[in-house]
Structure 1
Amino acid sequence: MTDNATGIDTRPSRDNPVDADTITIHCDEEITPRLVIAIDIGTYGCLYALQWRSDYENANCLESIKFPTTWSSSGFFPRKTPCCILLKPDKSIAEFGYKAAFQFRKNESLPERKRPKDWKDWYFFRFVKMRLYNGEELTVDTPMEAANDKHLPAVEVLAKTIEYLKDEAINKLREDGYVYQEEVTKWVIPVPAIWNDSAKHVMQEAAEKAGINGKNLSIAFESECAALYCTKVPLEKMEFATGNNKRTNIAAPGQTLMIVHMRRDTVDITTVRINEDKTSQQVYKSSGCPWGCSKVNEKFEMFLVELIGAETVRTFVEKHVFDYQDLQMDFESRKREMKWSDDQIPIKLPDPLRQLWERAEGKDVDEILEEKACLGKIEFMTGRLFLEAKIIQRFVQSTIDGLLKYMNEEVFADMSNLSVNSIILVGGFAESSYVMQYVKDNLRSRNIPVMRPHLPDLAVLIGAVLFGQNEKIVTPMVLRHSYGIAMTMEFVPNKHKED
């Protein structure tokens, strides 16, 4: 990419090196970085993205944000790799993502004589961020339990996760012929807006342990990043729920946007207004409710217990951990793909679970399902249970009903003096067009357009890159609490009056 004034390529490369000592850009000062790299550690998957400043300054700045395209994938979430990490006894990284899960499963299935001699001292962590949402205070000393009953401090596991993604991004730059220069690179890591200061400090500490200079690091709020991305998405790339008659330019000055970030355990809601200078300003405090998509997963697992039997499911979960996790991932994928027009939803039935089920009932699956007609229409074909769509839709509806109740009674009621122009759904659960339409239909009386961007699951990551390019584009947040400071100066004779 070229400098706008000179037409000369300003990116540091093997053929165009830049002496760091001559560069006046320092990211800890409020001066523009040449390169921004964002790392998003999601509940299930993680990813990095990067963008050069020269590309950001072009009209189509979203198109120039680059993601890795070579993750080894099983097809569940092809844009991301799972937050799984396998560590050797010395805490060095052995594998990451799908490869880590595969290697751990492979070694666990081998006879002891064929495993690495020190295998019992290895660590395997799956879905790292998910383990931070247990309601406990997160500190640098908080332990995290590995899948093989071992423990490490959570900050250390996070640091290794960030280290891997950081090194992947830097290696990608080098493969493309560019020289990574720390002095001119801004790193951004988004975190939930509802995290307390202690949890945010842990993420900061982990990033620095991973080798990121604290002066070059910004910890951003996921909701603000998502809002920033949404204001940059062209209107033609926003998908509207059926029945939306108003198609407004959401990035126009004066527009008030409610960003609903549909995460795993919670839903975070942030409301921003677009200012005349195109910056965004939060106009209502960020809030969250416990109506994330994990509620749907819980209802599905309760349904499995009712369909298959509590004892059979318990045995399956305890003795076939990875098959159970594959079942969870398959359901997660199907849930995100669900459409309003679906008649059936296929769910993988792992072979070990089928065998346990048939053994417990003394008959094959087809015969068992004939006796379970009261639970809805269910068929078994090609290793999958084909569930009547209404079964899963009920799980989703009860979860979204909880979210809508919270929005109506807690958010809209408290911000009655604000007029919201658009509701934008982001996050993995927002990938479901069924979810978007259900939200729209049940907020019809408010006459607010409901939409989602082209890549709702990447809204936070892309927004984090944009935030790194211009942190001033987001004005300070509305605090959840008020703070006051009282100070009393020591009396000094001949300086202060006695009264």
Structure 2
Amino acid sequence: MSNKPVVAAIDFGTTYSGYAFSFGYEFQVDPLRISCTNHFHTRSGAGMSLKTPTCILFSPDQRFHSFGYEAEEKYSDLLMDEEHEAWYYFKRFKMILYNGQDLKRDTKWQASNGKPFPAIKIFSCAIEYLVNHMLSTMDGKLAGVKRDDVHWVLTVPAIWDDKAKHFMRTAAEMAGIKGENLSIALEPEAASFYCKYLPVEKLSDTGKSEISCFQTGKRYLVLDAGGGTVDITVHEVLHGGHLRELFKANGGPWGGTTVDKAFKDFLESLCGQQTLAKFERDFKDDYMDLLGEFEVKKRTVSPELDQKVTLKIPITLHEAFQDNHGRSFREAVAERYDLQGKLVFAGDKMRVEPSLMKSFFQKTCDTIVGHLKNLFSKSELSGLSIILMVGGFSESPMLRHAIQTNFPQTRVVVPNEAGLAVLKGAVIFGHQPKIVSSRVSKYTYGIGVIRHAQSDDPPEKLFQESNARLMCKDTFSKHAEIGQEIEVDSKLGGLTYCPASEDTKYLKIALYTSTKKTPKFVDEDGCTLLGTINVKLAKHGGHERKVFVRLMFGGTELGVEAIEVKTGKVTKAFFDYLE
């Protein structure tokens, strides 16, 4: 249990972000008593929302200006006044961390104005905004709550690597959250925790009256479909309600934004790459409005849709097409034989036939279904008969229909608040961080070492020490294997290492991951350097100053324990992955 009076979670999503919190005394009475009310003003103050868009705006001097709906509104005004070029605007920037191998502390990303901007500052300012907003909201419920009175939980996709998780922790600490007051929750796990506490009537499935997902011995797959990624974990329920992960976290970049991408590709096929680029560059506000309207309309698309969907096409797109092609956009579309009866214009409206709207979901749904079929074919997942769908994209009737149709023998369960399951579950995780008893390693972990040469070592790796011993460099010393089940709070792979020379003051421990079970060298394909730490050695003892090294799998993050054998001195640390 958390020793703080409050647990608060920040769900940092690809498309939308939000927060929720609960007090310790509330959790004891009812774990589902979680505060998650309408806090965010929508654009133009038209209403209030549980979440706000994941977009952020910085002024020309790179100072934080606004986040969410406020950032959208301000940037829209700047666009209309043609004053946006000097400002730094980022939208849906979370996906940049999906492949985080090249992340460094000083990594810079390109803003909307084409200029580089510190990546860590984008995330730290966004987190700081959400923290301050939440403290202000919380103050209305219990005055005087301070930042250090709260145990904070940040959500991340389970498929992210250790470097991306560490990046988020670093950003949160830069935002003023103390490391000891911060936990990282894996999104599909968090959603599972929330659903575990829901009463039966709050879950819906394919018409079956009895729902027993969380009975002891049950195995179920969590499909967390968000805006950017589809994140999948597989759990078995143990005695006492604890969960065991059966298969390594997996998934891919197949979230709801891929449907938007299909629509943008369709627009490009209509008007051409040059015209669409000109429209986006010169009329950015209209471009954003068109995509925003599609975002709203796509939520209404279901397999039963039998009426045309109307989208307002800005006049500026017609003008851009006319400038580039010397003819009318309407006439060009009307001449497309493959679109006869599927697309018509009425004034400034484009009427889209139902089958065409549904087609924007096809590739995404096919990819997710194909991935699930591959998972269900694996022997480790035998006995799996339940799919628990969570995340905002799981609320799409098109995705739900695709899953139910392709897995008719599997129970598909969707909570009423699928889009809030991760956020509320992260609060529960903050109160009960030990609910998962074991996880499956996504990688093989090892330390880069120099060892005595072997007969099959490549010549380019060999060298002689001063005492004429033949050594081999860049070798992979394995501590944990991909697919290995690892208990939470365990310490694995205890191995002893010695310094390379007698005058070495620090033993540098470099941690690598590999997608292979038994890599031999750290520079093989599939190997990645995660980070390093330095262990200070005793002054005397030469080569015999041994260090015993174990990896610490304490939860969702990886640490290291190094014990100097001679002195018994223990060094515990998280690797710095951003050097």
Residue 339 (str. 1) matches residue 309 (str. 2): no
Shift, 1:107, TM fit: 2.8
1:422 is aligned to 386
More helix by share: 1
Residue 71 (str. 1) matches residue 41 (str. 2): yes
Residue 456 (str. 1) matches residue 418 (str. 2): yes
Shift, 1:175, TM fit: 3.1
Contact 1:345 1:388 in 2 (8 A): yes
**Aligned mates of 1:311, 1:89 — CA distance in 2:** 29
Question: Paired residue for 1:231, among 186, 196, 217?
Answer: 196
**Aligned mates of 2:435, 2:366 — CA distance in 1:** 34
Write the deviation string for residues 66-99 of structure 1: whole angstroms up to 9, x where unpaired.
Answer: 2343423468994321122222355443222122
The root-mean-square deviation of aligned C-alpha atoms, in Å, is 2.9
Residue 385 (str. 1) matches residue 350 (str. 2): yes
**Aligned mates of 1:167, 1:427 — CA distance in 2:** 25
2:222 is aligned to 259
Question: Paired residue for 2:186, among 200, 218, 221?
Answer: 221
1:156 is aligned to 121
After the TM superposition, which residues 476-495 of structure 1 pair with which residues of structure 2 at under 5 Å, given as runs?
476-482=438-444, 483=480, 484-487=493-496
**Aligned mates of 1:308, 1:460 — CA distance in 2:** 39
Question: Paired residue for 1:103, among 74, 80, 83?
Answer: 74
1:326 and 1:434, CA in 2 relative to 1: closer, same or farther beyond 3 A?
same
Deviates more, 1:145-154 or 1:352-361: 352-361
Shift, 1:129, TM fit: 1.3
Contact 2:155 2:187 in 1 (8 A): yes
Shift, 1:103, TM fit: 1.6
Residue 172 (str. 1) matches residue 132 (str. 2): no
Deviates more, 1:348-357 or 1:397-406: 348-357
Shift, 1:158, TM fit: 0.4
**Aligned mates of 1:440, 1:308 — CA distance in 2:** 36
After the TM superposition, which residues 377-416 of structure 1 pair with which residues of structure 2 at under 5 Å, given as runs?
377-381=342-346, 383-409=348-374, 411-416=375-380
Question: Runs (4+) of structure 1 moved beyond 6 Å?
Answer: 74-77, 489-492
Residue 273 (str. 1) matches residue 244 (str. 2): no
Deviates more, 1:455-464 or 1:302-311: 302-311
**Aligned mates of 2:198, 2:347 — CA distance in 1:** 41
**Structure 1 residue matching 2:298: 3-state secondary structure:** helix
2:434 is aligned to 472
Uncovered stretches (5+) of structure 1, i.e. residues with no partner: 1-29
Shift, 1:373, TM fit: 5.1
**Aligned mates of 2:201, 2:301 — CA distance in 1:** 23
1:85 is aligned to 56
Residue 211 (str. 1) matches residue 186 (str. 2): no
TM-score, normalised with respect to structure 2: 0.72
1:294 and 1:70, CA in 2 relative to 1: closer, same or farther beyond 3 A?
closer
**Aligned mates of 1:97, 1:103 — CA distance in 2:** 10
Shift, 1:426, TM fit: 1.7
1:329 is aligned to 292
1:273 and 1:246, CA in 2 relative to 1: closer, same or farther beyond 3 A?
farther
1:283 is aligned to 246
1:441 is aligned to 405
Shift, 1:449, TM fit: 0.9
Shift, 1:236, TM fit: 1.6
**Structure 1 residue matching 2:21: 3-state secondary structure:** strand
**Aligned mates of 2:222, 2:273 — CA distance in 1:** 39
**Structure 1 residue matching 2:234: 3-state secondary structure:** strand
**Aligned mates of 2:347, 2:144 — CA distance in 1:** 50
**Aligned mates of 2:497, 2:132 — CA distance in 1:** 50
Question: Paired residue for 1:54, among 25, 29, 52?
Answer: 25
Write the deviation string for residues 135-186 of structure 1: whole angstroms up to 9, x where unpaired.
Answer: 6522322212221223222111100000000000111122335211344311
| 1:427 partner amino acid | G
Contact 1:247 1:449 in 2 (8 A): no
**Aligned mates of 2:51, 2:347 — CA distance in 1:** 27
Residue 316 (str. 1) matches residue 279 (str. 2): yes
**Aligned mates of 1:308, 1:89 — CA distance in 2:** 34
TM-score, normalised with respect to structure 1: 0.82
Residue 297 (str. 1) matches residue 260 (str. 2): yes
Shift, 1:263, TM fit: 3.0
2:555 is aligned to none
**Aligned mates of 1:284, 1:132 — CA distance in 2:** 23
**Structure 2 residue matching 1:313: 3-state secondary structure:** helix
Higher Cα Rg, which structure: 2
**Aligned mates of 1:150, 1:276 — CA distance in 2:** 54
1:384 and 1:232, CA in 2 relative to 1: closer, same or farther beyond 3 A?
farther
**Aligned mates of 1:160, 1:121 — CA distance in 2:** 19
**Aligned mates of 2:353, 2:168 — CA distance in 1:** 42
Question: Paired residue for 1:350, among 310, 314, 331?
Answer: 314
1:383 and 1:229, CA in 2 relative to 1: closer, same or farther beyond 3 A?
farther
**Aligned mates of 2:209, 2:337 — CA distance in 1:** 43
**Aligned mates of 1:384, 1:234 — CA distance in 2:** 45
2:5 is aligned to 34
Shift, 1:245, TM fit: 4.1
**Structure 2 residue matching 1:471: 3-state secondary structure:** coil
**Aligned mates of 1:89, 1:240 — CA distance in 2:** 51
**Aligned mates of 1:314, 1:151 — CA distance in 2:** 21
| 2:421 partner amino acid | A
**Structure 2 residue matching 1:472: 3-state secondary structure:** coil
Contact 1:340 1:433 in 2 (8 A): yes
| 1:235 partner amino acid | V
| 2:20 partner amino acid | A
**Aligned mates of 2:149, 2:159 — CA distance in 1:** 30
**Aligned mates of 2:80, 2:385 — CA distance in 1:** 55
Report 1 or 2 for greater relative contact order, CA contacts < 8 Å, sequence distance ≥ 6: 1
More strand by share: 2
**Aligned mates of 2:310, 2:389 — CA distance in 1:** 25
Write the deviation string for residues 359-382 of structure 1: whole angstroms up to 9, x where unpaired.
Answer: 6464473x5554335225223347
1:43 is aligned to 14
Shift, 1:432, TM fit: 0.8
Q: Identity over the aligned pairs, expressed in percent?
A: 31
**Aligned mates of 1:126, 1:294 — CA distance in 2:** 12
**Aligned mates of 1:307, 1:107 — CA distance in 2:** 29
Shift, 1:451, TM fit: 2.4
1:94 and 1:301, CA in 2 relative to 1: closer, same or farther beyond 3 A?
closer
**Aligned mates of 1:73, 1:235 — CA distance in 2:** 36
Contact 1:32 1:470 in 2 (8 A): no
